[in-house]
Chain A
Amino acid sequence: MSQTEVKVGVYICQCGINIAATVDVEVVRAFASTLDNVVVARHYQFMCSEPGQEMIKKDIRELGLNRVVVASCSPRMHEVTFQGVLADTGLNPYYFDMANIREHCSWITSDSAKATEKAKRLIRAAVARVVWQEPLVAREVPVKPEALVVGGGIAGIQAALTIADAGFHVYLVEREPSIGGRMAQLDKTFPTLDCSACILTPKMVSVGRHPNISLLSYSEVVDVSGYVGNFKVKVRKKPRYVDLGTCNGCGLCAESDLTELKEAKGELWVDRIKIDESKCSQCGDCVQACLEENKENQGVTNIAVERRQFAELPPEEREGNLPETLMQQIVLMDSKSRLEFWQRELSKCIKCYGCRDVCPICICDECELENPEWISPGEIPPNFPLFHLIRAYHVADYCIGCGECEATCPMSIPLRTIQSLIHRQPREVIFEYIPGLDVPMKEKLIKQAKESPVNKRGVRV
């Protein structure tokens, strides 16, 4: 639309004395009538009143206005009112703009001169903008009447239940293995000292059983796109290694020789158990326990299941059948082939020190690995098994199993498995030696180390 055809009407509201007491409406009106494209400018006591609205309608009809600016209160109060005025006269309601000279102007100062000046500016801006506004048409878009609730604490649970009871489908996403959140960790609630679990648990059960709620526990929201009514949400389900369909919550797996599950025993709900893959040493004990309880349908579905089934196969059928994990292979080896295995793996080492450098708990100032008394410099592979043994035992007590050592090893030596093995076997089983307690043995070891061929050879010169 070319600007020559634009006819703007400006209406300044006095709002009783709300505006008129501070802003000199007549000065503002006179100013407005000088602006480009403005055909008429008026002020009135209450623009939102019936007579006020009529005034605008009359002007639209008689003067052929095609744009309207009302300078009054916040658009949150009356934008809809005035857009209705335009619509009543057949004008597109979006050919309207509102200048807020009350909340943004008259109410916030007693300085009349400044307020009047600001009102002029706001109106000038509104007039300038309304010229460029384009007609918009509202239309209907189909929406999905479903809701997503992120977080399954008491607030999320209640929100999900309320929406679901109203007849809408709800997806409840919880990052932990179970919903419940903080409230599940409390005993009493303030201020009534009600039993916390008595409030929470019936709601948790309702969520689990509600036909309108899809519970996505041990899951995280990865990505949200789209718009109101048509969101697309990507949720990552983390692996539990437990089949919730068959798990009967007996908790026997948690009693097997798995420290990370022991922590869960008794204190947390065992029917929502999971295997922490970052700590699992794949020993298979949990599966064994599960099989003993549930002969037909065991619930633990981690890789260890395969090991259990695999171990039952006759040797001739093993080959090319189920894959063995490295940990399983090592555990099944006799000591000679285990030594050979490590000798072969560790002879890949190119002594980059990467395993040491990335280790988050390796903190010594001087590294024993660079001590020529233990490790001869410049030799590849480094002395077997001393190099890797020193490293493994330096971090064994504190190793958090992050696996960075293995990830950064250019030769892909299974360094984390060494740590898993150490964790699995008490050190006195490995060495029959308890550091700090066995003094004569300590002296013997030191003497042995000093006389070792490594030490005798010394540094290359």
Chain B
Amino acid sequence: MNYDTILTVCPFCGCGCQFYLEVLNKEIAGLIPCKTDEISEGKLCIKGRNAHKFVYHGERLKTPLIKRNGRFEQASWQAALDIISQKLNESKQRFGPDSIAFLSSAKCTNEENFLLMKFARAVLGTNNIDNCARLCHSPTVAGLSSSFGSGAMTNSIPELENADCILVIGSNAIEQHPLIGSRILEARDNGAKLIVVDPRRTPLANFADVYLQIRPGSDVCLLNGFMNILTTEGLMDKEFISQRTEGYEGFKQKIEEYTPDKVQKVSGVSSGDLQRAARIYGEAEKASIVYCMGLTQHTAGTDNVRSCANLAMLTGNVGRESTGVNPLRGQNNVQGACDMGALPNVYAGYQAVLDKVAKERFEAAWETSLTEKPGLTVVEMIDAAYEGFVKAMYIMGENPALSDPDISHVHEALSALDFLVVQDIFMSETAQQASVVLPATSFAEKEGTFTATDRRVLRLRKAIEPLGDSKPDWVIISQLAQSMGSNQFNYTSPKEIMEEIAKLTPIYGGISYERLDKGKVLAWPCLTKDHSGTRFLHEEAFTRGKGRFFAIDFKEPAEMPDTEFPFTLTTGRLMFHYHTGTMTRKIPSLNSEVSAGFMEISPQDAKRLGVGDREKVVVRSRRGEIQISASITEKVAPGVVFIPFHFAESAANVLTSRTLDLEAKIPELKVCAVNISKRGKP
């Protein structure tokens, strides 16, 4: 008998909890929480506790598959890699490198994201690479970069416990980031005041000192009103504003327009509640802002983020412990995927492709010439595929056929492609449309690093051998690159890839497997091998020098309810499932909790429509319709309905709109107009 415990990282959300996988005779036997991990402290949520249970699922892909005459046939790796390199070369020669697009994965390791980005840029010569951060926190990267100079969580998770006030906007932290939710409650028990802004009464709202049930999409208006109250009542930090920021005058003029009365009319939040909340935040010594998808998935996503940055700067709540602006990243490695440059406009470490110096550095390292034309973003790629500009796509561990807005359009776009490669562990909705499917390995079968939401780099460790014929993503990409004639992909282990990353990425300069394996907690920027990482950013000065105030006008969401589509649909996730459910819906103990989608509707609306609890209804938007059972609850306000997007058979994203935020190119997944009718009736 051979028993071992392997310390590794949870593959679900961005909290970055570590746990031990129990390995008995080379098979995973169980999972033990890690009590010495500073985030989880031996505590895990239900997804984490069951994280190992999808690894051996019978539907795991174990051999490469090539589609011939509409059916998948098993193939050898050689045959699969040959056909991929031939097709990609063909597309590159006939239509140019930009006819190929790559989707990298926030579920894959830093090393793998780095390799796919290197493959796209160095081997195929295109910047058409993006990852699902586009659909979650691209406004964070855009917004916070322009305000502060660094588009990441400013503070670390454990610091939340010591805050005096926590303002949570559009984050269902208890369900989606349980170990952060837990810290927020801890802070509250320690005496912190909690303000929750959400159109839906989330579990966290029940613990709030002030809960503001906002109309979906009116965040800028509310935050401007918030700051209006702070300036009127003199609760700003004048010294901080004059010494560390710029652009205050223009900003101040703008927010003067947003009186509490106006805000009440637009957002539906009473001016009294707003004033109460503003005073709590303004008077706190250490106030922290926590936000998530509820703020970013809007056409005004970047504006929303900048408003948060404005608020933190106005009160001097940046660059100190337990303060800051803290976006919670949804995927275990969405932070890392962005850090590694799986984005169309930057290389690893946010070095712009337009920056000549950065370009030359990467060209020298990779011995090739690179293009400086920024590439396409997720939704633009799909549109370009639909219109025929993108001919081939390479998708690693993502499921746009369920996660992207307006998925009927996504399906059409994917079938319009000449060639689609999908690299995944399960036959996802996207993989079904692929020309070639490559079997990758799960988190338990490979080495690497993940970067958690608070910029902590964590070691993922291999517990078991890859199942069947599957291979870790970094091996697949390396072999493909080699078969396409590149000599830049001769890696024997992810450790070597990390050495290359550290060399080319200043913020990861001090990260190495040796240091991580010694149990060091390293959060970037970690510049050199003797640098101990950075727990909170912007201490002495902002990354960009001075923090910049933006004067922001409130804009209504792109699609407002009208007589034809009178309800506002907002989407989100549940405690028991994860994103498109490719993993969690295959875990019995999670699926038995919730096995199908539902639509939350207020009792008033349900009564008016004559819809009973659990009754099937038809929900329509301008893009499509789905059938789903109604769940009557007071969690949502009248006029608003909520659908979780995990379930392919009643997919919320059939309904959602793909109108983009012009700057961050994020689609407005959180607001669209729908109508609801009983089944069988028009």
Contacts and interface: CB of A to CB of B under 8 A. Distances in A.
Given A347-B206, A461-B629, A352 B186 contact: no
A350 interface: yes
Contact of B43 (A348, A351, A377, A408): A408
A350 B593 contact: no
A407 B42 contact: yes
Interface string A333-352: 00000000000000110111
Contacts of B35: 407
A353 B40 CA distance: 15
B541 to A, nearest CB: 37
Contacts of A412: 43, 182, 185-186, 189
Given A357-B49, A380-B575, A352 B594 contact: no
Contacts of B178: 350, 352, 410-411
Contacts of B593: 351, 377-378
B614 A410 contact: no
Interface of A is mostly: loop
Given A410-B178, A410-B179, A411-B185, A352 B592 contact: no
Contacts of A348: 174, 185, 203, 207
Nearest to A378: B594
A60 to B, nearest CB: 55
B427 interface: no
B576 interface: yes
A5 B358 CA distance: 65
Contact of A352 (B44, B206, B614): B44
A354 B182 contact: no
Contacts of B42: 407-408
Contacts of A410: 40, 43-45, 178-179, 182
Interface in B492-536: none
Contacts of B48: 352
A353 B592 CA distance: 13
A351 B575 contact: yes
Interface string A341-384: 00000011011111001100000000000100000011011000
A378 B574 contact: yes
B43 A370 contact: no
A182 interface: no
A374 B203 CA distance: 21
A139 interface: no
Interface string B104-132: 00000000000000000000000000000
B182 A411 contact: yes
Contacts of A25: none
Contacts of A461: 596, 614, 629
Interface string B572-596: 0011100000000000010011111
Contact of B46 (A347, A353, A407): A353
A128 B614 CA distance: 91
A229 B80 CA distance: 71
- Most chain B CB within 10 A, of A347, A354, A381, A461, is at A354
A407 to B, nearest CB: 6
Interface in B161-216: 174-175, 178-179, 181-182, 185-186, 189, 203, 206-207
A351 B40 CA distance: 16
B598 interface: yes
Contacts of A347: 203, 206
Interface in B629-670: 629
Interface residues of A, number: 22
A408 B179 CA distance: 11
A350 B575 contact: yes
A409 B575 contact: no
Nearest to B32: A358
B612 interface: no
A381 B203 CA distance: 8
B596 A460 contact: yes
B96 interface: no
A442 B185 CA distance: 39
A84 B182 CA distance: 74
B33 interface: yes
A377 B178 CA distance: 18
Contacts of A352: 44-46, 48-49, 178
B46 A351 contact: yes
Contacts of B175: 350, 380
A347 B203 CA distance: 8
A358 to B, nearest CB: 8
A413 to B, nearest CB: 10
Contacts of A353: 46, 49, 589
Contacts of B614: 460-461
Interface in A26-41: none
A378 B43 CA distance: 20
A329 to B, nearest CB: 13
A378 B175 CA distance: 12
A409 B49 contact: no
Interface string B455-499: 000000000000000000000000000000000000000000000
Contacts of B592: 370, 377
Contacts of A407: 35, 42-43
Contacts of B189: 412
A411 B180 CA distance: 10
Contact of A354 (B49, B174, B186, B575): B49
A461 B45 CA distance: 24
A454 to B, nearest CB: 14
Contacts of A370: 589, 592
Given A352-B49, A353-B49, A461-B596, A408 B33 contact: yes
Nearest to B17: A410
A381 to B, nearest CB: 7
B501 to A, nearest CB: 32
Nearest to B174: A350
A72 to B, nearest CB: 51
A372 to B, nearest CB: 9
Contacts of B174: 348, 350, 380, 411
Nearest to A376: B593
B598 A460 contact: yes
Contacts of A351: 46, 575, 593
A162 B503 CA distance: 66
Nearest to B596: A461
Contact of A377 (B44, B49, B594): B594
Contacts of B186: 412
Nearest to B592: A377
A350 B45 contact: yes
Interface in B20-65: 33, 35, 40, 42-46, 48-49
A461 B628 CA distance: 10
A378 B42 CA distance: 24
Contacts of A350: 45-46, 174-175, 178, 181, 203, 575
A354 B17 CA distance: 15
A97 B641 CA distance: 92
A372 B206 CA distance: 25
- Most chain A CB within 10 A, of B35, B45, B181, B589, is at B45
Nearest to A344: B207
B574 to A, nearest CB: 7
A409 B181 CA distance: 12
B622 to A, nearest CB: 29
A381 B201 CA distance: 13
Contacts of B594: 377-378, 460
15 contacts: A348-B174, A348-B207, A350-B45, A352-B48, A357-B49, A377-B592, A377-B594, A380-B175, A380-B203, A381-B203, A407-B35, A411-B181, A411-B182, A411-B185, A412-B43
Interface of B: 33, 35, 40, 42-46, 48-49, 174-175, 178-179, 181-182, 185-186, 189, 203, 206-207, 574-576, 589, 592-596, 598, 614, 629
Given A354-B49, A460-B596, A461-B596, 6 more contacts: A350-B46, A377-B593, A380-B174, A381-B203, A411-B181, A460-B598
Closest 4 CB pairs of A and B: A378-B594, A410-B43, A352-B46, A378-B593
